[in-house]
Structure 1
Amino acid sequence: MVRFDLVGFSDVEEYLDYFFGTLLETNWTYDYFVDWGKVRGNVRRHVKEISLLNSLCRVEAGERETMLGDIFQRYPETLEVIPLLLAIREKSIPILEMSEQAIYTCFDFSKRSLSGKEAEQLVGFCGSVGLLKLF
């Protein structure tokens, strides 16, 4: 806890009033939202992988999950694009699943060979976050 007396306040309430009263409404500048140079660089670097994933647009909705799993297994380099599409820096994404107890599941989108079960789990993640609706 802050030593409010050392920074010139008579009590915690006075300190908290000052603290909350002087907070900025936001720290967002126009640069906060999207670094378009970085986006363009990622698109150039992953244009083939993005094209492979974009092929899902030409597949019936009911077949997209199966096709995405096939793409992940045949072209593991496409895995690294998934976090980019979600604007996430990490390749390993922990997810909290709430049921009777809290369970953390970690989804790894590093380039690697996948088993059918691993591909199915990653496709499930893509469906759960709504990424399949993009196609």
Structure 2
Amino acid sequence: MERNFEKWLSTLRSSISDYKYYVDFEKVYENINDIKVELNILNSLIGSKDFDDEFRSICQKYPQTLKCIPILLAVRQYEIEVQTNYKNIKYDFMLYKYKKLSHNDIDLYLEFLKETGLKELIVNHIINNLVDYVLGIEVGLDSNGRKNRGGHLMENLLERYIQALNVEYYKEMYTKDIEKKWNIDLSLLTNAGDVAKRFDFVVKTENQIYVFETNFYKAGGSKLNETARSYKNITQEIDRVEGVTFIWVTDGYGWRSAKHNLKETFDVLNTLYNIHDLENGILRKVIL
């Protein structure tokens, strides 16, 4: 039966974000727990009337508290480089692990707190608790990871449908590994082996190998046109390889801005599917 592209396009989804997509609180709490004791020690500086001397004393007694300072500025690395009008200064907040801190070392850290505004933040009681403050920072930093989490959502979704088939399947498999495992020639896909090609999933049945690519595009962009053209080329090349079927599962409103290129691939790739197709059991019909 001939498929209708416009009808198929109308079933694309605007989002596939799950509850964990927005903030990974388990990771946030884990990061907080790693430095919770040290943050509570530094809490004694909040509203301090003699911040400089108290900070020096803490550095001498509990030098490990220094590892908390970068995260107070929403910075993950322990080495921070600062360019002033006169010189370049490198701060190593794990220096205490390698040597006993000198008075000059501690004064340098104190200068950092003053110049970055952290001293003012703590002394003027602008915050009440450093643990709560860092919790907010960690939530904010974790939101930056949404792009990476979003990239795996479609893979995870597709994998659940593949698992439901109870077939032999592999995740993130390179063409060279497919060739070696099942003794087939995929050189048409790799320019005779010059280009490394990896498929998101590979399903092996008794008589056929199914190679999968999957993605989700929430927004448009030039990348979508390149993706559609690339998968059209893969389709035409795999059609020349006996015993191998290419399946592309994609979705997202982003395709609305690249529908012309997507239609070109749709017209030559009968196994181009979306989430709506998966929900209606397309993989069971095609593979089993």
TM-score range, shorter chain: 0.5 to 0.7
Query: 1:84-121: CA deviations, max 9, x gaps?
Result: 1111121111000014xxx2100110051311110011
Which of residues 56, 81, 84 in structure 1 aligns to 2:71?
A: 84
Deviation track 1:19-54 (CA, whole Å, cap 9, x = no partner) reads xxxxxxxxxxx95xx765443222211111001101
Structure 1: distance between partners of 2:24 and 2:117: 23
Q: Are 1:41 and 2:30 counterparts?
A: yes
CA distance in structure 1 between the aligned counterparts of 2:27 and 2:70, rounded to whole angstroms: 14
List structure 1 runs of 4+ shifted beyond 6 angstroms.
none
Do structure 1's residue 68 and structure 2's residue 55 form an aligned pair? yes
Q: Percent identity?
A: 32
Q: Which residue of 1 aligns with 2:196?
A: none
Contact 1:96–1:105 (Cα < 8 Å) also in 2: yes
Unpaired runs of at least 5, structure 1: 1-29
Aligned to 1:93: 80
Aligned-partner residue type, residue 107 of structure 1:
Y
* Residue 121, structure 1, aligned to residue 108, structure 2: yes
What is the TM-score of this pair, normalised by structure 1? Answer: 0.65
- Separation in structure 1 between the aligned mates of residue 72 and residue 52 of structure 2, nearest angstrom: 17
Distance in 2 between residues matched to 1:84 and 1:110, nearest whole Å = 13
Matched, 1:52 2:41: yes
Give me the CA root mean square deviation: 2.0
Corresponding pairs, count: 99
Inter-partner Cα distance in structure 1 for 2:25 and 2:101: 32
What is the identity, as a one-letter code, of the residue corresponding to 1:128? E
Tell me the secondary structure at the aligned position of residue 107 of structure 1.
strand
Aligned equivalent of 1:21:
none
Residues 1:109 and 2:60 aligned together: no
Separation of aligned partners in 2, 1:85 and 1:56:
14
3-state DSSP class of the match of 1:46?
Answer: helix
CA distance in 2, matches of 1:70, 1:36: 34
Q: CA deviation at 1:58?
A: 4.7
C-alpha distance 111-118 of structure 1, shift in aligned 2 (>3 A) = closer
Question: CA offsets, 1:61-100, max 9 Å, x none?
Answer: xx1122112111210110110011111121111000014x
Q: Distance in 1 between matches of 2:117 and 2:28?
A: 20
1:20 aligned residue = none
Which structure carries more strand by proportion?
2
Q: Which runs of 5+ in 2 are unaligned?
A: 1-20, 123-288
| Residues 129 and 38 of structure 1: CA distance in aligned 2, closer, same or farther (over 3 Å) | farther
